[in-house]
Amino acid sequence: MTETRPYKVPTTGMEYNEFVGSLGPYGNGNPVNTELHVRYGVRGGKYYDWTIELIAREGDVDSFRATGERPVRYVMDSFSVEDGTVVHRVRTGPGPDDFEVSVARELRAGDGDLVDSGYNFFMKQLADQWDARHETRDPRTVATFGFAQNNRDQDFRDERYPWVRSTVVCIDDDPADDVVVERLKHYFPDGGTVAVHCRSISRMKFLKVDAGSRPDDGEAINGGDDTTMTATGYTSIGMMVDAVYRGDDWIDEAFSS
């Protein structure tokens, strides 16, 4: 009997995208923030390749403003499709190789649908583990997992918002310089999209961001009517949404906590 070959990620027709969002409060003396970072490859509406990471960010917005030094980031927990398996990594120490590595699932040729459904399974596993460690969900957690859920909808990704790419998810109260100048510049230095959860109406609004020419220029945020603003100072990202947009292009789905 011939052994079934290991699963290989398709090499043609794949389209990759990424998003990242905070899973809790930061600032006010809290030096560590946790970010959910997801990279996925889609073909024919199916996720045939993906990596889901929980990343610790050491350094809050106040220290970034005061020193200009970028926070230190490191992966704490991850699931990823690799070499015919889903690999689970959990950090066990401070060194670059201090990980406990295990195979969460074996994958064989023809398991594309299993890879696609596995994304939902392991994302839910991380979400359940996070919720179990926290009595209440921070609004940023709601926004991040809410965006992840909407983004799984092919109509949302391909028909309604195909231009929403390389996305940082946040809430309206988040400082614009932290979201755009620090977080987006770290993950997507060539620019991307900011997805802002406007909590008063439980809707999300999107802003296109172009990379600035110099780090201290901030970033140019482009909205309707050719309006451009720069993310600097203590402006909240919600204030920028109000200033930039005058249209009705809100997501139809409401987010709930």
Neighbours of 201 (CB within 10 A): 12
Give the C-alpha separation, 197 to 203, whole Å. Answer: 6
Q: Is 148 helix (H, G, I), strand (E, B) or coil?
A: helix
Query: How confident is residue 220, by pLDDT bands cut at 50, 70 and 90?
Result: very low
Give the C-alpha separation, 239 to 246, whole Å. Answer: 13
C-alpha R_g of the chain = 19
Q: How confident is the model over 190-208, as pLDDT tens digits?
A: 999 999 999 887 888 899 8
Instruction: Give the per-residue pLDDT at 111.
Output: 96
Q: Judging by beta carbons within 10 Å of its beta carbon (0-12, 13-18, 19+), is residue 7 exposed, middle or buried?
A: buried
Q: How confident is the model over 159-189, as pLDDT tens digits?
A: 989 999 999 999 999 988 889 888 999 999 9
Instruction: Give the per-residue pLDDT at 105.
Output: 95
Structure token digits, residue 83: 């070499």
Under 8 Å between Cβ of 40 and 17? yes
Percent of the chain at pLDDT above 90?
A: 55
Q: How many helices (H) and strands (E) does the chain have?
A: 7, 11
Under 8 Å between Cβ of 194 and 221? yes
Beta strands in 14-150 (DSSP E): 15-22, 32-43, 46-58, 72-82, 85-91, 99-106
Give the C-alpha separation, 232 to 85, whole Å. Answer: 44
Residue 222 above 80 pLDDT?
Answer: no
Residue 223 above 60 pLDDT?
Answer: no
Listing from the earlier edge strand, what are the strands of the sheet with 167-171? 99-106, 85-91, 72-82, 46-58, 32-43, 15-22, 167-171, 192-198, 203-210, 220-222, 228-230
Beta strands in 122-252 (DSSP E): 167-171, 192-198, 203-210, 220-222, 228-230
Instruction: Give the per-residue pLDDT at 24.
Output: 81
Q: Is 191 helix (H, G, I), strand (E, B) or coil?
A: coil
Q: How confident is the model over 64-96, as pLDDT tens digits?
A: 777 878 889 999 999 999 999 999 999 999 887
Residue 224 above 50 pLDDT?
Answer: no
Beta strands in 23-71 (DSSP E): 32-43, 46-58
State the chain's mean pLDDT as an integer. Answer: 84
Q: How confident is the model over 10-24, as pLDDT tens digits?
A: 999 999 999 999 998
CA distances from 64 to 67, 136, 221, 242 (A): 5, 27, 20, 25
More confident of the two residues 21 and 218 = 21
